[in-house]
Amino acid sequence: MQKLGGPFDLKEAGITARRRNLELQRQNRIFNARLRTIGIDKQALDGQIKDKKIQEETEARKHLAYAKDLIRHDQTMCLLDARHKQDMKNLNRAIGEFRIRYQKPDTRREFDLNDPQALKKDVPARISDTDPRCTVSSIQKLLGEDLQRQERIKRQQEQTREWLLAQQKDLKNALEDQKFANSLYDKYRIAQDQRACELQQMEENTRRAVTVATKDFNRAQATESATKHKLEKLQEQEDNAIDIQNQMHSDFLTENPKQAFSAFGPNRVIVHRWKGMTPDQMDAVARKWKQQVQEKKRLQEEERQRNAEWERLWSNDARAAVLLERQQQRINRQLRKEMDCQNMVLCSDHKAREKFLKNEVYVNVPTGKYFDQFNTSSR
């Protein structure tokens, strides 16, 4: 048997108190009509508001840090820009000093053209006899001072002789080539002349043969055309005579009634040849008309009898429909009477049942104690 007031009792009491507090909090939430009806969780809303404030503060801190970063970056860019400008200034100064020190005007390639001391710096026109600038056109070496004159003249003579020999050889070769070309050209001209003569003779023979053939053909065509024209004229005269005879003995002039018959059917005629109906045709038309009149009268009599029969049938159907409608009305009145009787019986039964329920069944009216037993627990 455990002692009272021990650690176990305190633990159980704490659990019980915690459950009781949770139950009271639950009852306060459930039995609060406004909170239950509207459905607002204030703690959740407060938590949301708190979270929103924390988020806004976080966003504000982010924007502040971003603004500080922007200011720091702008300051850094300003410093870098100033440093770049100073570096460019130092670079330009160094370039100027380099040009002044290492790129002087006297070191340029075209300085000798604009050098004001050019005449002072120029070398003499002749330094010695072996100066390579002393050419023939320089007039710095006279004829009597030419020490290699004999050798130079000998070389010039050898060179001239070689040139003459080469020119003679070229001239001889050119003459031989010209002679050979002239011989070939003469042969070619002779062959061309012979060919032209042969072609001209052939052309004349062909033209002569064509002229003779054309003349013969034209003579034959003229003869054939004259014969044909003569035959056509004779044929036309014979055709005209035959046509005149046919017209004189034709059905059109003799007014033959058979000429108006058409080839498309026995009852069709040619309008421009028709001379009117014959007496037999007129009698046939009259007989046909009388037959049509009698046939029309017969059809009208049959139509009248048919209409009379239809009117008799319509009247009989209408009379039968009126009788059926009256019988249906009598049946409907009888059914209405029976339905009214049944409704009266059902109404009396319903009233009796309501009276029984009110006086016998629903006699125990609930009191306030009955309703107080509800909503006493949240479970």
pLDDT average, residue stretch 347-376? 81
Which stretch of 80-89, 253-262, 289-298 has the lowest confidence by average pLDDT?
Answer: 253-262
Cα 85-83-65 angle, rounded to 5 deg: 125
pLDDT average, residue stretch 198-224? 87
pLDDT average, residue stretch 240-248? 78
- Is it the case that residue 57 has pLDDT exceeding 90? yes
124 vs 146, more confident? 124
pLDDT per position as a tens digit, 134-169: 776 666 666 566 656 778 888 889 999 999 999 999
Q: How far is CA 235 from CA 228, 238, 248, 293, in A?
A: 10, 5, 20, 60
Q: Let me know: does 262 contact 269? Beta carbons within 8 Å.
A: yes
DSSP, res 290: H
Task: Note the pLDDT of residue 77.
Answer: 92
pLDDT average, residue stretch 192-205? 87
Task: Note the pLDDT of residue 35.
Answer: 62
- Is it the case that residue 175 has pLDDT exceeding 70? yes
Task: Note the pLDDT of residue 276.
Answer: 67
DSSP, res 365: -
Task: Note the pLDDT of residue 129.
Answer: 64
pLDDT average, residue stretch 250-277? 67
Q: Cα separation of 56 and 64, whole Å?
A: 12
- Tell me the percentage of the chain whose pLDDT exceeds 90: 23
Task: Note the pLDDT of residue 143.
Answer: 58
Task: Note the pLDDT of residue 301.
Answer: 92
Q: Which residues contact 126 (CB under 8 A, 6 or more apart)?
A: 133, 134, 140, 141
Whole-number average pLDDT of the chain: 82
Cα 115-118-120 angle, rounded to 5 deg: 140
CA 303 to chain centre: 71
pLDDT average, residue stretch 308-330? 90
Which stretch of 17-26, 226-235, 347-356, 358-367 has the lowest confidence by average pLDDT?
Answer: 358-367
Task: Note the pLDDT of residue 302.
Answer: 92
Question: What confidence tier does 2 reach under pLDDT thresholds 50, 70, 90?
Answer: very low
pLDDT average, residue stretch 98-117? 82
pLDDT per position as a tens digit, 66-104: 899 999 999 999 999 999 999 999 999 999 998 888 888
Q: Cα separation of 224 and 84, whole Å?
A: 115
pLDDT average, residue stretch 111-126? 78
Task: Note the pLDDT of residue 346.
Answer: 92
Task: Note the pLDDT of residue 1.
Answer: 42
Question: What confidence tier does 61 reach under pLDDT thresholds 50, 70, 90?
Answer: very high
Which stretch of 3-12, 149-158, 234-243 has the lowest confidence by average pLDDT?
Answer: 3-12
Cite the beta strand spans of 160-313 per DSSP E: none
Task: Note the pLDDT of residue 92.
Answer: 93
Q: Cα separation of 188 and 198, whole Å?
A: 15
